[in-house]
Amino acid sequence: MRVKICGLTQAQQAVAIADLGATALGFICVSSSPRYIEPQQIQHICTQLPPSVDRIGVFVNATLEQIKSTVTLGHLTGIQLHGNEDPLFCQILRQNLPQIELIKAFRVRTPETLTQIAAYQTCVDTLLLDAYHPHQFGGTGHTLDWQDLKSFTPPLPWFLAGGLTPDNIEQALQSLSPQGIDLSSGVELQPGDKDLEKVRRLLQTLGRCTSNLNP
């Protein structure tokens, strides 16, 4: 299972989290976010990470030029679109950056939100489901209604996000079978400052969950 820790701002923490076993790190490229990090800082951190760790830039309604510039400067391997980007924009982005993983996030307000996903299935690589908040695009600490997702079996791999913590991840994975999980506020001391002990506990719990699922 992919484990993405999002909202990294400190190089030392990013390296430590990669060493603990996270498979992907996310960097918030949204200037209004308390977890915002500039492209030059992303570059500084990414040059210290092992090549096996995915490096994902998170964007909200950014321009094509902004995304391309940040990907190049930051040595990113993936892009997460967390705003209102339509399928056409995703197609254009994919054409311009064909080697970069394209993740489209959906903030699930009601089960009907999931019907939007079909239009994106041919133009993105991965999906991400997050909790809806009227004023924030992510990192809210709010959980999804996992029961509403019981029948969610998309043709693309997907991340479960939204209020996940070391304490509820086992329950989440007993309810659902995502290919990856994404945490930000659930492993933080404060926005952008990660709690390495919480990350360690998360990965230990995931190890137990995996052992139980694959005896």
Among 6, 29, 46, 90, the one annotated catalytic: 6
- The question of whether 19 is a catalytic residue gets the answer no
Q: What is the mean pLDDT of residues 141-152?
A: 76
- How much is the pLDDT for 142? 62
213 confidence band (pLDDT: 50, 70, 90): low
- How much is the pLDDT for 215? 44
Report how far residue 20's alpha carbon sits from residue 178's, in angstroms, rounded to the nearest whole number. Answer: 21
**CA-to-CA dists, residue 81 to 33, 52, 101, 146, 187, angstroms:** 15, 22, 11, 22, 22
Among 54, 90, 123, 130, the one annotated catalytic: 130
Q: What is the per-residue pLDDT across 20-71, written as a single tens digit (0 to 9) for each?
A: 999 999 999 999 999 999 999 999 999 999 999 999 999 999 999 999 999 9
75 confidence band (pLDDT: 50, 70, 90): very high
Q: What is the mean pLDDT of residues 92-101?
A: 97
Instruction: Single out the residue of 58, 53, 54 nearest to residue 80, CA to CA.
Output: 58
Contacts of 155 (CB under 8 A, 6+ apart): 121
Task: List strand residue ranges (DSSP E) for 157-210, in order.
Answer: 158-160, 180-183, 188-190, 193-194
DSSP secondary structure letter of residue 148: G
Mean pLDDT for the chain?
A: 91
Domain 2-213: state its class.
alpha beta
Distance, C-alpha 170 to centroid of its chain: 18
**Count of positions (residues) in the chain:** 215
Sign of CA dihedral 105, 195, 199, 55: positive
Report how far residue 151's alpha carbon sits from residue 196's, in angstroms, rounded to the nearest whole number. Answer: 34
User: Which residue ranges make up each domain of the chain?
Assistant: 2-213
- How much is the pLDDT for 141? 52
Q: Which amino acid is at 184?
A: S
Distance, C-alpha 78 to centroid of its chain: 10
- The question of whether 130 is a catalytic residue gets the answer yes
Taking the model in full, what pTM does it have?
0.92
Query: Which residues are paired to 6 by β-bridges?
Result: 26
